[in-house]
Chains A and B, each alone.
Chain A
Amino acid sequence: MLRTISLFLVLMAVWLLLSGYYTPLIISFGIASCLLSALIARRMEVVDNEGHPLHLGPRIVFYWAWLLKEIFKANIDVAKCVLFPKTYLRPNMFTAKVTQTSDLGKVIYANSITLTPGTVTVDLDNDTVMVHAMTENSAEGVKSGEMDRRVTAVMGEA
């Protein structure tokens, strides 16, 4: 029930940000549609740990900040690679361990790898992830397991 209420509040906040028309009639339409969406989602039983990951809390925001920094560094690496392929381009493929237990954690980890330019998740099994990396340097970020450790910490599964 708490999750449904929270989903309604999030939907309402997004609606208010996107709408821009604040007359009583339009706002009541907004409240009605958000309420209906939240109730339908509840009836469909998609308002769970995966559909509305409330339990991640503010930790995920700190993780995003860290990920943004990594993306920034990785972009410079890939740009160098494109401009000087002879010097930097060292495509390689390897498998790494996944320590998250939940599906959501694995998805966050795999998507983080793909989101960082220079590494792309090619295959995700039960507890291994196959990664294609552009340079040894970009592969190092995944091989060292730091990202994996951080995602596990965010998920609270450590």
Chain B
Amino acid sequence: MDLVLDIITWILMLTGCVLLIITGFGLLRLPDLYTRIHAGGMADTLATFLIFIGLALQSDDFLVTAKLLMVIVFVFFTSPTASYALAHASFVAGLKPMLDTTGSDQRDSADPDEGKD
């Protein structure tokens, strides 16, 4: 039983770590701020989720498990607020997102002045 738990933990945590590496890679590689926020979103969501579930499986203490699960909930509640604040501030400040020209029919709506109140 312990072995099964260990294997599951290994899989979860390694997947989480790979996602974190991809996140870091994306932060360096992607072209502009908005796309980099998306990359950061991976670290906030699935990577956090997988790593903390893996850790929760390893704890014998119910209270520790509960605390680890609470961390997931709090990160999931707060991280989109931070992402939104970052994206909204850049948008209002007039930073234009790099848009793909092929097959984009909504280019008109992406005018930074629209965000100003």
Do A and B interact with each other, yes or no? yes
Given contacts A17-B67, A20-B63, A92-B100, whether A123 and B106 have CB atoms under 8 Å apart is no
Given contacts A93-B97, A120-B84, whether A75 and B42 have CB atoms under 8 Å apart is yes
Q: A93–B38 contact, CB under 8 A?
A: no
Hey, which chain B residues are within 8 Å of A81, CB to CB?
26, 38
- For the complex, is B70 an interface residue (Cβ under 8 Å from A)? yes
Hey, which chain B residues are within 8 Å of A92, CB to CB?
99-100, 104, 106, 110
Residue of A nearest to B116 (CB): A123
Report the Cα distance A71→B42, complex, angstroms: 9
Q: A111–B84 contact, CB under 8 A?
A: yes
Hey, which chain A residues are within 8 Å of B98, CB to CB?
91
Given contacts A120-B41, A134-B35, whether A17 and B109 have CB atoms under 8 Å apart is no
Main secondary structure of the interface of B (DSSP, over half): helix
Which of A23-31, A43-51, A82-90 forms contacts with chain B? A82-90
Q: A117–B100 contact, CB under 8 A?
A: no
Residue of B nearest to A143 (CB): B106
Looking at B30, B46, B109, which has the most chain A CB atoms within 10 Å of its CB? B46
Q: How far is the CB of B82 from chain A (nearest CB, A)?
A: 9
Closest 6 CB pairs of A and B: A82-B26, A114-B80, A117-B41, A93-B110, A94-B106, A75-B46
